Amino acid sequence: MKSRWDNKVAKKYTDDLSLRVYTSKLLGSESTLVLHGGGNTSVKINKTNIVGEREEILFVKGSGHDLATIESNGFSPVKMQHLLKLAELDRLSDPEMVSELKTNLINPNAPTPSVEAILHAILPHKFVDHTHADAVITITNTSNGNERIKEIYGNSMIVIPYVMPGFDLAKLVAKQYHEEVNENTIGLILLNHGVFTFGKTAKESYERMINTVDRAEKYLRGKNAWDITYKKYKTKKTDLCKKLATLRYEISRITETPMIIYMTGNFKGLFFSNKKNIEKISQRGPVTPDHVIRTKQLPMLGENIKKYTESYKSYFKKYESQSKDKKNMLDPAPRVMLDKNFGLCTIGKNKKEANVISDIYIHTIDCILRAEKLGGWQALPSKDIFQVEYWDLEQAKLKKSKRKGIFEGEIVLITGAANGIGKACVSSFLDRGAAVIAIDIDKKITRMSDDLNYLGIIADITNETAIQSAVEKGIKFFGGIDMLVLNAGIFPKSCNVENTTSKKWREVMKVNLDANLSFLRICHPYLVLAPKKGRVVIIGSKNVHAPGPGAAAYSASKAALTQLMRVVALEWGENDIRINMIHPDGIFDTRLWSKDLLRLRAKKYKMTIKEYKEKNILGVEVTSNNVSELCATMCGPLFENITAAQIPIDGGNERVI
């Protein structure tokens, strides 16, 4: 591991806190050191308070902040004098500790300090860095990890046996530091947990961390336990998508809320899942206890959810009975699945959460395989893992991330999603927390949103093979389909019936009718497996009820689509799938309506453009967003008892009425 310290960049940071931010981000940028909120850093700074007194303040990473993106306001300023007094107590409960940390902030608006704030305070060094370095934890998580660590570092690192983070760990560190510190001491190794380094400057503390980890990496290389040859496996061509959606349905029933299942396709995950000894090496526990709140203690092997949940319940019953206070069992569903065909799959309430779990477990795979080459992977006992999983302070982290909308964990597929109504639908569903599979022939669909809950797929919907491929890609990314919004359509140039060729007629029917039939047929097996029941919304047209001259193909295609919707409602009701239709008119914020065309149409009616846009009974302009919001609402609970409905959204059209 190499230092990323850059003197030119560092010169831009002129005070201790800004330098603390700089090196924290350097640590956070290295995924083998910390992942997704892991680790913490601090700096001790003297400040003058409001009454003119000088006091030492510990600026420690605030709970919920990520070292990769942290700024100065992500550090919690706590009074050092009080922290040191707390460290002298014989005991301090977790609620008491959190209360004391909060009430001794010099800024009441600052985030809650890290649970390791007292530990940072008792170390008599200006800068302190803490990571969960893969290389170091790999070594500690072996049967003779303690001896190996001492062999590598000698008396430069104080080795701390595993104790759960918090007050007890801070007390143990204070005791051992006082007894063992020497002129060579640059940090601490916390067995099965991580690394602490410290120094007079931000650079010194940071580079001590890098050097410490580098020594561990070199040790692993020297023992031929660093490089791993990952053999490539090909997934067997079975009905993976249907199986994945079924698994998602069963897991969502257990969690009592819809979940995303991400089939990562990661080559390490597929290799690991096909290891002959996978049942042994994968069932020993996480790399570090901190990961348990994301990954659970163990991954599920294969597709046997019943076996996994029963095992989890037994684990809970055994260790809850040994706890000092009563615990309420978390849902017993897995968060990581390893399967010979699926490879590594991760489960979360949204794609971001599934990605975090994926990142953690890919690093776990590296650590396990390296530890196996070093003599054998050995995680902490289940009792210790349970204590962290059901630790109130860890659960508080998860409670902070509340559900982000009524559709969180649900998946919607939207066609014609690159422009107009379809594009607006993407926003409306994302805003409600849904994962969105957006399909369009326009290439910009792949880069239309950087939301992790978004997947844009280029597809020609007149090609049924392309539709099938797009649907399968979406299911492997999110795990299923709960809602289907059929929006794609074309409106050809005005043409009377006597001039309408069969070729033009078929072109319109292929997009406006045939493609929708294909989507309905292909998506039906997945809609049946929607945890909250399947929903379909079709974008029709005013022309169904009030056709105009020159639009025979378009009007006929939308009328036929309406009849298809009504038949589907009759047939799919027994599957608890509801289907409804929206008939918009006068939606002028789409590609169909250029400024020149609007000007010409308004001129024809002797109106201003504004008057033309509001040419309806209510005198309002109807926008793509109005349609998309209605569409999303129709997929929500307000419409849970409605199917086969046709709703006009046109401001009131006399001909339709």
Instruction: Render pLDDT for 168-215 as a digit per residue (tens, 0 to 9).
Output: 999 999 999 999 999 999 999 999 999 999 999 999 999 999 999 999
Q: Are the C-beta atoms of residues 267 and 230 closer than 8 Å to each other?
A: yes
Q: What is the pLDDT of residue 233?
A: 81
| Reported confidence tier of residue 39, pLDDT bands at 50, 70, 90 | very high
Query: What percentage of the chain reaches a pLDDT higher than 70?
Result: 98
Sequence letter at residue 643: T
Provide the 8-state DSSP code for 498: G
Task: Name the nearest CA neighbour of 626 among 571, 583, 569, 657.
Answer: 583
Average pLDDT (565-569) is 98
pTM given for the model:
0.92
Work out the end-to-end distance of the chain between its first and last CA atoms, rounded to an integer number of angstroms: 72
Q: How far apart (Å, rounded) are the C-alpha atoms in residues 332 and 305?
A: 10
Half-sphere exposure of 538 (CA within 13 A, CB side): 32
> β-strands 336-339, 300-301: how paired?
parallel
Q: Is residue 401's pLDDT more than 70?
A: no
Q: How far apart (Å, rounded) are the C-alpha atoms in residues 338 and 303?
A: 9
> What DSSP string runs through 113-145?
BPTTHHHHHHS-SSEEEEE--HHHHHHHTBTTH
Q: Is residue 397's pLDDT more than 80?
A: no
Q: How far apart (Å, rounded) are the C-alpha atoms in residues 244 and 538?
A: 26
Q: What is the pLDDT of residue 393?
A: 76
| Reported confidence tier of residue 237, pLDDT bands at 50, 70, 90 | low
Q: Are the C-beta atoms of residues 160 and 191 closer than 8 Å to each other?
A: yes
Q: Could you give the domains of the chain?
A: 7-222 (3.40.225.10), 240-400 (3.40.225), 411-587+622-649 (3.40.50.720)
Q: Count CB-CB contacts under 10 A for residue 73.
A: 13
Q: Note the pLDDT tens digit of each residue in 433-449.
A: 999 999 999 999 999 99
Q: How far apart (Å, rounded) are the C-alpha atoms in residues 11 and 2?
A: 20
Task: Name the nearest CA neighbour of 133 among 256, 73, 217.
Answer: 217
Q: What is the pLDDT of residue 324?
A: 83
Task: Name the nearest CA neighbour of 78 among 52, 54, 103, 53.
Answer: 103
Q: Are the C-beta atoms of residues 67 and 79 closer than 8 Å to each other?
A: no
Q: How far apart (Å, rounded) are the C-alpha atoms in residues 216 and 227?
A: 14
Q: Note the pLDDT tens digit of each residue in 258-283.
A: 999 999 999 999 999 999 999 999 99
Average pLDDT (57-63) is 96
| Reported confidence tier of residue 580, pLDDT bands at 50, 70, 90 | very high
3 state SS of 191: coil
Strand order in the sheet with 260-263: 260-263, 343-348, 336-339, 300-301
Q: Are the C-beta atoms of residues 83 and 41 closer than 8 Å to each other?
A: no
Q: How far apart (Å, rounded) are the C-alpha atoms in residues 42 and 426?
A: 42
Q: What is the 3-state secondary structure (H, E, C) of 399-460?
A: HHCCCCCCCCCCEEEEECCCCHHHHHHHHHHHHCCCEEEEEECCHHHHHCCCCCCEEEEECC
3 state SS of 257: coil
| Token pair in block for residue 308 | 């996994």
| Token pair in block for residue 514 | 């045939």
Q: What is the pLDDT of residue 395?
A: 66
Average pLDDT (350-368) is 96
Average pLDDT (237-246) is 88
What angle (nearest 5°) sits at the alpha carbon of residue 344, between those of residues 339 and 345?
Answer: 95
In terms of C-beta density within 10 A (0-12 exposed, 13-18 middle, 19 or more buried), how is residue 228 classed?
middle
| Token pair in block for residue 341 | 């065909």
Q: What is the pLDDT of residue 398?
A: 58
Q: What is the pLDDT of residue 604?
A: 85
Sequence letter at residue 95: P
Residue-averaged pLDDT of the chain: 94
In terms of C-beta density within 10 A (0-12 exposed, 13-18 middle, 19 or more buried), how is residue 562 classed?
middle
Quick one: CA torsion of 389, 353, 474, 300, rounded to 10 degrees? -20
